[in-house]
Structure 1
Amino acid sequence: MTSTTATPGEAERGSRLGAHLVVALVFLSWTAHASSIIGLLAGNATAQIAIHFRTTQIAWFTLAPSLLGLFLSPAIYWAATRYGKRRVMLSAAVLALFGDVIAALATSFPLLLLGRAISGIYAGTAVLAYAIVRDIVPKKSVGSASGAVAGGIAVVGVAGPFLSAGVLDSFGYRGALWTMVCLTAVTVVALLFFIPESPVRDQSKRFDWIGSLLLGTGVTAVVYGIGQGSDWGWTSGRVIGLLGGGLAVILVFVIVESRIEHPLFPMAMLKRRPFWGMIAATSVVYCVTSVGTVGYLLALYPKIPHLSAGLGWSATHYALVGLPGAPILLGTALFAGRLAKRFDPRLLLATGSALFAVSMVLSVYFHYNATQMIATSPVGSIGMGLVITTLPILVISAVEPREQALGNGAQSIASGIFIAVATQVAYVVMAQKGLSSHGAQFYSDASFKNAYWLFAGIGALGSLSCFLMPRMKRMDEVESGQAPAPSAEEEGAPLPR
């Protein structure tokens, strides 16, 4: 059964945006990208944390929040469909605030990982901001509004690096952790006071606990197995057991999901080429966002002959080097929202991913000083601007309004799996040519080159995968707002009792 509650946006559907909707979009952009600012802080702090805690397992500083967010995201999207997107985002933000406090107070690496893991709960809800946009904004403005919300990442790209750099250079990694607490608190306030609730509800769905457990267990086993391959040996029984066992559990998950009435992952929707093509393409392309980790390690690790090929920059210097690319990314993101009204969005995504691949090839050969990085950044900035703007637009193009939360959830789950694996593989690739000293991991020039080649390959594969999709709807062709509940034939399952 589908029910609604009134929101400010209902009165203006089909008309121009009111002031309250403009304010809501500003704060929706914040909620969509707050995790990115926190990610910048975490990325900048990675080198200091690895050396301070003397760990070779620093990859888990990034992976812990990603994996817990992935593990819980199915429950998050189910709850969003049933109880309201804003309400679920707010609950997740409060829990994330608790995790950020634990991380800021941590005196050991395991406790730090616990706090970071809990904070990852919110990251899984960020895509719900785009679903709220579709639910409350007039149809003719959905494309521009989604592009504007997505384009907020460029503002993050300008202000975020300097915020994180200033904090890190002045107060160290501990200051960065406490700044994460403050940023999450702002998110709580934004959701509590400035963002309306979506009117779209679906009370018919039950939560698939078995599927959630199977998926989380399988993915975690695979990612952990990849991470331990270098230390344990790729042919060791433990690594083979983790990889084989994890893949077997994921296979069981697929079988279970295809047979139950209310699956965690919408298998019935996968029968439609626009949907499965969108899932496959966006999941591969989204992996390119993981490359930021390589940049942080290259710029901020110390330069030590025969041990570390880091550039030894301060966080502020790295932010200055990245500054010229930020306005290019912002302009591209804003322009891409308009292009999506005129062109098939899959072509925009394919172009963005291809440009990113070119930028990675350039980075293989030109990453030794600030001049080289600045000169090669425009190609990558244009590519990334197209990618980050087109991804949410493609989800909107591939699903009906009633399926928006399910579509966002499925895309987030799939891309989360791919990102977790790609991030772990990147660390493994870098470690192959790296050295450890006093318990900390360091990386050679070959480490960084191999990582850039890895992401060049991902970008090229992502570009090609876009053509798994048929022609997708332009933003001026999609239906916005609430739609009638689907029939049993549309869902591929019996009507709920």
Structure 2
Amino acid sequence: MSQTQTSPPSADERPTSTARNVLIVVALVWTVQLVSLVAALSGIAQADIAIHFRTTEIAWFTLMTLLTGTFFLPFVVKAAAIFGKKRVLLVATGLGFAGDLLAAVATDYRTLLIGRGIAGIYAATAPLAYAITRDVFPRRWVGLASGVLAGGVGLVAFGGPFLSGWLLDDYGFRGVLWFMAISTAVSFLLVAVFVPESPIRAAAGRMDWIGGLLLGGGVTAIVYAVGQGSHWGWGSGRFVAWVVGAAVALVVFVLVERRVAEPLFPLSMTRRRPVWTVLLATSIAAGSLSAVGVVLQLLILMPNIPTISEGLGWSGTHNALVTSPISAMIIVGAVGTGLLARRVDARILLATGSALTAIGYGIGTHLHHNAPQIIEMGVIAGLGTGIVVAVVPIMIIEVVSPEEQALANGVQTLGQGVAQIVVSQLAFVVMAQHGAVLKGTQFYLDKGFTNGLWLVVGCVTAGALLVALIPRSKRLDEAEVGQAA
């Protein structure tokens, strides 16, 4: 798909002042990190929700948003290239608010899942926000702004547990759900008021509906099959049929994209070695780290019931106090990465961050039974997490052109989302092998939590090893950026 830059904005339209740039960064940080904040809030609330609705299917409370976000992501990214990134960002945020509102007022678990599914469309906003960063900032701001956007996950990790602990302890899970809805409304207002429209737009374009349905449908089918595999049986005909159907859809997608005039994701871009290796390594490393919350939040918040559940049984507030040093290290790692990226090879940063997280959670497989052990595990893993989340958007900037930025971000987000969903669901399956169901709720023993952490360690290690495939590319200060170009 050909893209071009629309007529350059006049000098007074360009966000050249520091104050204006800061306001744009604040709005985009809120947009990007609201996805992480909602994930954190969901993780902390899921134990109470499982007990309240007496469901063994609590995994879908989190996975439903990832599922719909994955399906709609290709359409959102393509629409942004055609109609404008800010405009599509506002539409996705508005739909996210509608879903959050439905979930907040739901009186049964099915309606709650429908609301979370609609809200999942908001997950597609993150790649658009990163692309806007490259398009509207001058060169000297791009690396720092990207690092701050990614590093905001540390602020979420730092303040999120305190916020969710207060909401959960004082207002229950309903308070958490209502806060999600209010936060999405604030995101809409911030983007509408402060964020300029990107000057990078498709010269001409049409929505590739067939390609989008094939890609979204194929990926969604894989995710759904993995989510249901433990119930159907991993060797059952039903599971095999879904996986085969997904594979066929993805193969047909590739064939269609080779023939269509304006493909959803140009294969010429994804075939380039610097691009596909970066997408593969970052998707697996970052996706696996996103999935670790499934294990840790259940370990920390599930009650301790002899022979039934061996969670730590902490309150939301106690969890926030203990994990605050971890969150601080995420901020340090992310902001430091944003500053180092212009001088240090991004491959080294990704490998270092992945290795630190593997070491931290590797320690945690044996030491996770009290607050000092949780802090010891998390401080090491937190520093690595900050490095990984910050270097991902920077690596993509280094290997694609400004016109390809939103598409590449979309592919990476899609791959990371699939990795997160698959690893998350496998974590539930692994933990359930050592647990029990009581009054309709799934509980887990210590061996289950240990195996869940080992799963994450193995997947993050795989991401670190894949860095070896990535060839040398341009440094951040050598890459072409939107306004500077």
- Are 2:285 and 2:464, in contact at CA under 8 Å, matched by a contact in 1? yes
The whole-number CA distance in structure 2 between the counterparts of 1:36 and 1:291 is 13
Question: Which sits farther off after the overlay, 107-116 or 251-260?
Answer: 251-260
| Match runs of 1:444-459 below 5 Å | 444-459=445-460
- Are 2:74 and 2:216, in contact at CA under 8 Å, matched by a contact in 1? no
The 3-state SS of whatever aligns with 1:324 is helix
The 3-state SS of whatever aligns with 1:436 is strand
Q: Which residue of 2 aligns with 1:413?
A: 414
CA-to-aligned-CA distance 1:200-227 (integer Å, 9 cap, x gap):
1113232221122122222222222222
Letter in 2 for 1:61: F
- Are 2:361 and 2:378, in contact at CA under 8 Å, matched by a contact in 1? no
2:474 counterpart of 1:473: yes
CA-to-aligned-CA distance 1:433-490 (integer Å, 9 cap, x gap):
2211221111111111111000100111000111211013221111111699xxxxxx
The whole-number CA distance in structure 2 between the counterparts of 1:277 and 1:131 is 20
Question: Which sits farther off after the overlay, 32-41 or 445-454?
Answer: 32-41
Q: Which residue of 2 aligns with 1:103?
A: 103
The whole-number CA distance in structure 1 between the counterparts of 2:393 and 2:198 is 17
CA-to-aligned-CA distance 1:35-54 (integer Å, 9 cap, x gap):
21111111110001111111
Question: Which sits farther off after the overlay, 140-149 or 462-471?
Answer: 140-149
The whole-number CA distance in structure 1 between the counterparts of 2:315 and 2:361 is 23
Q: CA RMSD in A?
A: 1.8
TM-score normalised per structure 2: 0.96
The whole-number CA distance in structure 1 between the counterparts of 2:232 and 2:185 is 41
- Are 2:361 and 2:377, in contact at CA under 8 Å, matched by a contact in 1? no
CA-to-aligned-CA distance 1:227-282 (integer Å, 9 cap, x gap):
22222222222122222222232222223223322222221112211111111111
| Match runs of 1:245-284 below 5 Å | 245-284=245-284
The whole-number CA distance in structure 2 between the counterparts of 1:296 and 1:394 is 30
CA-to-aligned-CA distance 1:131-187 (integer Å, 9 cap, x gap):
111111111221112112222221112111111110011111111111111111110
The whole-number CA distance in structure 1 between the counterparts of 2:336 and 2:5 is 36
- Are 1:328 and 1:382, in contact at CA under 8 Å, matched by a contact in 2? yes
2:233 counterpart of 1:243: no
The whole-number CA distance in structure 2 between the counterparts of 1:111 and 1:7 is 45
Q: Which residue of 1 aligns with 2:301?
A: 300
Letter in 2 for 1:271: R
The whole-number CA distance in structure 1 between the counterparts of 2:220 and 2:407 is 22
The whole-number CA distance in structure 2 between the counterparts of 1:376 and 1:234 is 33
2:315 counterpart of 1:314: yes
Which residues of structure 2 form unaligned runs of 5+?
Answer: none
Give the drift of 1:283. Answer: 1.1
Letter in 2 for 1:246: A
The whole-number CA distance in structure 2 between the counterparts of 1:392 and 1:182 is 27
Structure 1 residues 7 and 115: alpha-carbon distance in aligned structure 2, compared to 1, 3 A threshold = farther
- Are 2:82 and 2:206, in contact at CA under 8 Å, matched by a contact in 1? no
Structure 1 residues 9 and 210: alpha-carbon distance in aligned structure 2, compared to 1, 3 A threshold = farther
Question: Which sits farther off after the overlay, 233-242 or 252-261?
Answer: 252-261
Structure 1 residues 470 and 119: alpha-carbon distance in aligned structure 2, compared to 1, 3 A threshold = same
- Are 2:31 and 2:125, in contact at CA under 8 Å, matched by a contact in 1? no
Which residues of structure 1 form unaligned runs of 5+?
Answer: 485-497
TM-score normalised per structure 1: 0.93
Q: Which residue of 1 aligns with 2:6?
A: 4
The 3-state SS of whatever aligns with 2:442 is strand
The 3-state SS of whatever aligns with 2:437 is strand
The whole-number CA distance in structure 1 between the counterparts of 2:145 and 2:249 is 40
Letter in 2 for 1:450: N
Count of equivalent residues: 482
Q: Which residue of 2 aligns with 1:115?
A: 115
The whole-number CA distance in structure 2 between the counterparts of 1:117 and 1:10 is 41
Question: Which sits farther off after the overlay, 3-12 or 400-409?
Answer: 3-12
The whole-number CA distance in structure 2 between the counterparts of 1:456 and 1:333 is 20
Question: Which sits farther off after the overlay, 246-255 or 184-193?
Answer: 246-255
The 3-state SS of whatever aligns with 1:480 is coil
The 3-state SS of whatever aligns with 2:471 is coil
The whole-number CA distance in structure 1 between the counterparts of 2:395 and 2:53 is 41
Letter in 2 for 1:227: G
Q: Which residue of 1 aligns with 2:42?
A: 42
- Are 1:17 and 1:138, in contact at CA under 8 Å, matched by a contact in 2? no
Structure 1 residues 434 and 5: alpha-carbon distance in aligned structure 2, compared to 1, 3 A threshold = farther
| Match runs of 1:391-430 below 5 Å | 391-430=392-431
2:20 counterpart of 1:20: yes
